[in-house]
């Protein structure tokens, strides 16, 4: 094929036809043609030459040029594409390094092999442009619902035609035992769009909680308009789901709006999700109240929230336990996902036994350490005293309110408690020293002798050892592995040392050791101070 005036316009017409068919920019096709013609010219004139082709966008005329770049004498490697400054003087007036000498060369006759190679280059460029267009089109649609047609099934994964591209619905993203045949219509949630070597991969889902939220947005105008917001969704795909909603308009009931007239709105979502039962729950900022709603239809007697551990204890009547837990733990599992908290469910009888055990344990503590009879020790526990520290250092008025306790008795109680605490501290300190604890750690402010003993048992014996600890190693924490939360016990957790307190102690130790510059720790506080001074001035 020779680039002659007869087929110059045909080049542009072909480029426009291909671009129209693939829905890409015609200039990309023309660029691919220029590259393919340049490759054919190199095979004719020599691969060392820098041959470039420019196709006129109006006439279709292909202009073949040879480019030679001016380089330093010692850098001349390819004499076909490079010139020294001296050599360039015969072509250019005042050549400098980096200048280019461009000369036109005759167009080439394309043989069969060259034409085939050119075709491959054009196809490759067109494919790349098509992939880029597809990625750009779908990347912003992640997080939305799309309608498609099933093309085929591969190893349990469904390939879905979604218009100008293909999406994949993996088998673990299908609801239950859904089965699809070619040409079935399907509605999916676009979970992710990734750019990969073989083209954009569009991952679809029907089990994602967001799929349900988007379905409700389509069915409930108030959600679409922002009057009602979906705060949380938890699903056991194909079986049961819970959804927490809140209304920003006092006159609109969020649950009623989502259910619809005679259940029409929620039924439309249920039908799409293969009969998945949906509990619609009013959202509440107060987490215990929201959890009580989330555990419906079970009745809850008592809720105890531990925010630090992100755990919540729920007490239910004995006959309500199975209802609260649900079949195979489904109800409590969904409530846990909805609230983001670990839930411990116990019956009133179990809670009563636990309270009784705690009561007996504290009673024994006071009997053994303060030399009290059982009745007197029980009186202390009943008044809310749980530790020897509370008895030793509480205001004396709080002891004298107990029946039969006057000022003298209260002072005697406190003296006994302090004596025991001092003896325990001395024993702990002696044991810590015996384990090798150094004065730098013992004298560190904030650590009691019992804490130092616990650290020494774990081979933390110096202030340097302490400064290398992580806050969670001292205060404990939670780790999530494979979706399951596991408790990490902290060395100082038995002494009620929280994460923030542990963080402060470790940072203080690092400052004392000179590892951290204290002026770099609170730049914001300093800025605030400067601002206040400026305002006062």
Count the alpha carbons within 13 Å of 506 in the hemisphere toward its beta carbon. 20
pLDDT-above-90 percentage for the chain: 12
Domain covering 284-381 assigned CATH 3.30.300.20 in the classification: yes
Strands (E), 87-165: 100-104, 145-154, 157-161
Of 69, 10, 1, which Cα lies nearest the Cα of 41? 1
* Tokens (6 digits) for 76: 């001349």
Q: What is the band of 14 on the pLDDT scale with cuts at 50, 70, 90?
A: low
More confident residue, 392 or 34: 392
Average pLDDT over the chain, rounded to whole?
Answer: 81
Q: Is the pLDDT of residue 116 over 70?
A: no
d(CA 216, CA 243): 10
Work out the widest C-alpha separation in the chain, in whole angstroms. 120
Residue 376: CB partners within 8 Å, gap ≥ 6? Answer: 366, 404
Omega of the bond prior to 364 within 30 degrees of 0, cis? Answer: no
Compute CA distances 394 → 159, 374, 391, 400, whole Å: 71, 21, 6, 11
Asked if the domains 5-133 and 142-205 are classified in one and the same CATH topology, the answer is no
d(CA 190, CA 134): 14
Of 421, 298, 428, which Cα lies nearest the Cα of 365? 421
Strands (E), 181-318: 185-196, 199-205, 228-236, 240-247, 277-282, 302-306, 311-316
Three state DSSP letters for 7-58: HHHHHHHHHHHHHHHHCCCHHHHHHHHHHHHHHHHHHHHCCCCCEEEEECCC
d(CA 48, CA 372): 102
d(CA 36, CA 105): 16
User: The tokens 């702990």 sit on which residue?
Assistant: 428
Residue range 449-483, pLDDT digits in tens: 999 999 999 999 999 999 999 888 888 876 766 65
Contact 225, 238 (CB under 8 A): no
More confident residue, 370 or 137: 370
d(CA 316, CA 368): 35
Residue range 145-195, pLDDT digits in tens: 889 899 888 888 888 888 777 888 888 888 877 788 888 898 898 888 887
d(CA 229, CA 508): 44
* Kind plus residue range of the DSSP H or E element containing 478: strand 477-481
Secondary structure of residue 192 in the 3-state scheme: strand
Burial of 309 from C-beta contacts in 10 A (0-12 / 13-18 / 19+) = middle
Instruction: Encode burial over 205-216: b for 16+ CB neighbours within 10 A, e otherwise.
Output: bbbbbbbbbbbb
Q: What is the band of 228 on the pLDDT scale with cuts at 50, 70, 90?
A: very high
d(CA 12, CA 5): 12
Contact 161, 151 (CB under 8 A): yes
Q: Is the pLDDT of residue 321 over 80?
A: yes
Q: Is the pLDDT of residue 526 over 70?
A: no
Name the strands in the sheet holding 277-282, side by side, starting at the edge strand that comes first in the sequence: 228-236, 240-247, 277-282
Residue range 412-457, pLDDT digits in tens: 888 888 898 899 889 999 999 999 999 899 899 888 999 999 999 9
Q: Is the pLDDT of residue 6 over 50?
A: no
Phi/psi region, residue 264 (left: phi>0; alpha: psi -120 to 50; beta: rest), is: alpha
Q: Is the pLDDT of residue 532 over 70?
A: no
Q: What is the band of 8 on the pLDDT scale with cuts at 50, 70, 90?
A: low
Domain covering 142-205 assigned CATH 3.30.590.20 in the classification: no
| Confidence at residue 352, expressed as pLDDT on a 0 to 100 scale | 85
β-bridge pairing 100-104 and 157-161: unpaired
Sequence length of the chain is 537
Triad 418, 420, 422: Cα angle to 5° = 65
d(CA 212, CA 233): 8
Compute CA distances 477 → 287, 470, 489, 498, 534, whole Å: 20, 11, 7, 10, 42
Enter the CATH code of domain 436-520.
Answer: 1.10.150.20
Distance of alpha carbon 105 from the chain centroid = 58
| Confidence at residue 233, expressed as pLDDT on a 0 to 100 scale | 92
Q: Is the pLDDT of residue 534 over 60?
A: no
Contact 199, 131 (CB under 8 A): yes
| Confidence at residue 325, expressed as pLDDT on a 0 to 100 scale | 84
Residue range 388-399, pLDDT digits in tens: 888 888 888 888
Enter the CATH code of domain 5-133.
Answer: 3.30.1480.10
The mean pLDDT of 243-252, rounded to a whole number, is 90
pTM confidence score: 0.57
Of the listed ranges 121-125, 198-202, 311-315, the one predicted with least confidence: 121-125
Contact 298, 274 (CB under 8 A): no
d(CA 508, CA 447): 12
d(CA 322, CA 338): 19
Domain ranges of the chain: 5-133, 142-205, 284-381, 436-520
């Amino acid at each position: 094929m020779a680039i002659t005036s007869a087929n110059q316009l045909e080049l542009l017409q072909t480029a426009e036809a291909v671009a129209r068919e693939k829905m890409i920019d015609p200039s990309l096709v023309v660029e691919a043609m220029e590259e393919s013609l340049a490759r054919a010219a190199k095979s004719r004139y020599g691969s060392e030459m820098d041959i470039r082709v420019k196709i006129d966008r109006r006439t279709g005329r292909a202009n073949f040029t040879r480019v030679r770049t001016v380089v330093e004498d010692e850098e001349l490697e390819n004499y076909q594409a490079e010139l020294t400054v001296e050599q360039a003087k015969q072509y250019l007036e005042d050549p400098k390094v980096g200048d280019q000498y461009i000369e036109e060369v005759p167009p080439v006759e394309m043989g069969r092999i060259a034409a085939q190679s050119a075709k491959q280059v054009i196809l490759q460029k067109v494919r790349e442009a098509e992939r880029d267009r597809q990625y750009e089109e779908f990347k912003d649609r992640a997080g939305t619902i799309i309608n498609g047609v099933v093309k085929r099934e591969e190893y349990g994964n469904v390939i879905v035609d979604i218009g100008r591209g293909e999406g994949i619905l993996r088998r673990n993203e299908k609801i239950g035992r859904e089965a699809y045949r070619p040409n079935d219509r399907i509605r999916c949630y676009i979970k992710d769009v990734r750019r990969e070597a073989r083209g954009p991969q569009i991952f679809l889902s029907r089990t994602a909680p967001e799929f349900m939220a988007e379905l409700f947005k389509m069915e409930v105008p108030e959600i679409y308009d922002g009057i009602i917001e979906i705060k949380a969704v938890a699903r056991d795909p194909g079986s049961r789901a819970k959804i927490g909603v809140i209304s920003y308009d006092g006159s609109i009931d969020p649950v009623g709006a989502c259910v619809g007239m005679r259940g029409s709105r929620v039924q439309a979502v249920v039908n799409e999700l293969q009969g998945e039962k949906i509990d619609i729950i009013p959202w509440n900022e107060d987490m215990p109240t929201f959890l009580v709603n989330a555990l419906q239809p079970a009745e809850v007697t008592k809720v105890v929230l531990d925010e630090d551990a992100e755990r919540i204890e729920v007490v239910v009547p004995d006959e309500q336990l199975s209802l609260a837990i649900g079949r195979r733990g489904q109800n409590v599992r969904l409530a846990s996902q909805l609230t983001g908290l670990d839930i411990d469910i116990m019956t009133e009888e179990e809670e009563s036994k636990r309270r009784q055990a705690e009561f007996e344990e504290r009673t024994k503590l006071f009997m053994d350490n303060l030399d009290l009879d059982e009745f007197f020790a029980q009186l202390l526990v009943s008044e809310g005293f749980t530790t020897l520290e509370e008895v030793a250092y509480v205001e004396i008025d709080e002891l004298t309110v107990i029946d039969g306790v006057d000022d003298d008795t209260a002072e005697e109680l406190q003296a006994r408690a302090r004596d025991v605490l001092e003896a325990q501290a001395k024993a702990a300190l002696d044991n810590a020293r015996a384990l090798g604890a150094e004065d730098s750690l013992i004298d560190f402010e904030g650590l009691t002798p019992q804490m130092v003993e616990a650290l020494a048992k774990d081979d933390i014996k110096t202030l340097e050892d302490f400064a290398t600890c992580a806050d969670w190693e001292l205060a404990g924490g939670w780790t999530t592995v494979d979706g399951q939360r596991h408790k990490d016990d902290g060395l100082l957790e038995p002494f009620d040392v929280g994460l923030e307190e542990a963080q402060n102690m470790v940072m203080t130790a690092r400052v004392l050791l000179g590892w951290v510059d204290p002026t770099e720790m609170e730049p914001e506080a300093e800025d605030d101070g400067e601002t206040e001074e400026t305002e006062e001035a």
